[in-house]
Structure 1
Amino acid sequence: MSRPRIAIAGNLRWNAGFSETVANYVAAAPGVGCEIAVAAPVSRMDAEVPKHLPVVEDLGWATHLVVMFEARQFLSDEQRELVSSIPRARRVVIDFDGHYDPDAATEVGPGPVTAWRELYRELSDLVLLPKLGGRLPPGAAFFPCMGMPATVRRPPLHGDTDYDLQYIGSNWWRWDPLTEVVEAALAAEPALSRIRVCGRWWDGEVCVGHERASANEPGWLRERGVEVAPAVAFGRVVAEMGRSLVSPVLVRPLVAGTGLLTPRMFETLASGSVPVLPPAAEFMAELYGDGCEKLMLGKDPATTLGRIATNRRTYARVVAEIMERVRERYSYRRVLDDLLGFLGCRGDGR
């Protein structure tokens, strides 16, 4: 077969981590002997995405199709018909949010888990899930989906960051864990007082239809001196994270309950910021290895954050070691090569 041409079907937006993952696939594609582009006929995207990602208007360009689902089902009936123009054996579904997993039936859908399963079975015989541990349903296989981006910098040893603590991402079941970290940062010795939060639904506004998932207390962050900034566009997330000494990895209930990987687990490492982990992220030891324990906030998060601020050299070494471990297994080149294996068209190597 000639060089594989892989079309991506997805719901892509300028401020979604999902789009950042696709951009990394595109960058890694030449190294594994394939081409990747977003398939416009079977995707939804905003006006910014085509400025940053290759887009094809004719699905006939593709030899293989990868259908990616995150929060919602985006395919119309007509688009579902178009998918069938690619042979079934050359299609896979990537399920970022674990909708196909019976253990993940507790979070906002939309639609019951049976509807997701029926949709996925219609589209492909194989569903790829980024689930670290536990059982997988029939027809599913582990695939990390995302990987380790290029490193922006090494972990900081000195006071050369714009922020002491920063979180980049939307408030989606993350209000309580975020406010707990903010309170701990302000109570730490020394205090981590230069704090920024970037993203949607942090200061009054909520996601219509999902008010419970995006609930927040207007003014709470600003009253504590926290800078509230807009969402960060894909392609800039890792660099913006690197402006902070500490970046918490906040895991929503679905992620904690099922052991799903998320882009932030990789991006925070690549930024050089110190990724601190709440108790709900204990399962990440399988990803980060032995150094994970040193990054756990534990029962006294204020003390932990103060220790990081005063022992930067120690934590820089811990994070650097984890960086190398994760990059060896989860470089985007290796992740993409694994995807080619699932599609039956593995490229030139890792």
Structure 2
Amino acid sequence: MKVMEKTIETDHPNTDQEKIATVTRSITEHGNYLRKRYPILQHQNALGASVMVFSLAGMVVTGGLYLTGYIPAWMCILINALLTSFIHEIEHDLIHRLYFRKQPLAHNAMMFFCWLARPGMPSPWLRRNLHFHHHKESGTDTDVEAWITTSGNPWGILRLLKLMDGFVFGFLNAVFAPGWRQKVRLLGKIIRLNTPFGLLYWGCWYVFLGYHLYVGFGSIIGAEVHSSAATLALMDVVNSAVVILIAPNMIRQFCLFFISSNMHYYGDVAPRNALQQTQVMNAWWLWPFQLFCFNFGSTHSIHHFVVRDPFYLRQMTAPYAHKVMAEAGVRFNDFGTYKRANRFSMGHSQTRSRG
């Protein structure tokens, strides 16, 4: 009888931890099955490096085609936004040491090129600890990574602006922090996290916005704007950088943060409970956003159960994983999260929020 009771309990898990263990085991076993069925998946390092080289080379080629006039600016921006979404997934896998774990030179070189292609983000080496903590304490008050993507904030114009411009978001948080010591500490952290590439990235973006707003306003009021040869030469460089690198990353980051901040629950999540940490967001109307963050809303929840699988394998396991996760109680397309400021509790209204 005792043996039978144990078997029934295993086959029909009751507690959340039992359900989590069942989901993790099932997805892991399915991933192993796919690796055996498609032997190429066993060459994880080569696949990761190939995607990396393809994406970087694609950005260089697309940028060259734009500079030589073969493609318009909008096409360059959209193509590079797609390519940077691949690079983001590669960086995320690298943070979990899924490529070249035992070859630090190759591993760190890939990390560096990921950072170079997405210069508006902090160093991936600095982000690693934050991300590991995100997995341990996802959705709790100490989950800084979730908070950075605006999870837990009431929806409105302010949250939308934060999603569009992370640097201003961080700067305003520092300015309005209580006490000058806290202000100085936060400002120092922002500068440290954005040195050196982030400062160049955001500086270039604000020069671009400032100059074109100035010229546009002058045109509206009928005033002639005369720019020096040096200014025009500088703006040629700035405009090119915006089209090839900055605007694509702005689109990618907005789409990623919009999806990520809404699929993660925040504020009332039970500690280390993967059933409550995320939901699956795969409604058809989200595809314009999913397109530029590599279907993040549909597959990232899988990662909270099984960390070891790279991003392309999560895409392959998704149909099976979704069934297992749904049976365990993971939510799908819970758009009430917009009204609840990402609270897990269905009866929770917008209350406090950080930032």
Shorter-normalised TM range: under 0.3
Greater fraction of residues in helix? 2
Greater radius of gyration (CA): 2
- TM normalised by structure 2 equals 0.27
